[in-house]
Amino acid sequence: MEWTELSGHLPRVQAALRAHATQVTVDGADVVHVGGQREPIVTRVGLRPVAT
């Protein structure tokens, strides 16, 4: 798996998460779920090559 860091896109990810305000709240670099669970917003993605 190839991992890519996309931290430069954090503002865009935060804006996208704010569109789901009934499910989550954005608090800085964290997302807070309606049940109170807090976790960091992840901007690292992994892609797995697929043989064609």
pLDDT of residue 18: 96
pLDDT of residue 11: 95
What are the extents of the domains in the chain?
2-47
Do 10 and 29 touch, CB atoms closer than 8 A?
yes
Do 14 and 26 touch, CB atoms closer than 8 A?
yes
Calculate Rg over the CA atoms of the chain. Answer: 13
Show pLDDT as tens, one digit a residue, over the chain (52 residues). 899 999 999 999 999 999 999 999 999 999 999 999 999 999 999 999 899 8
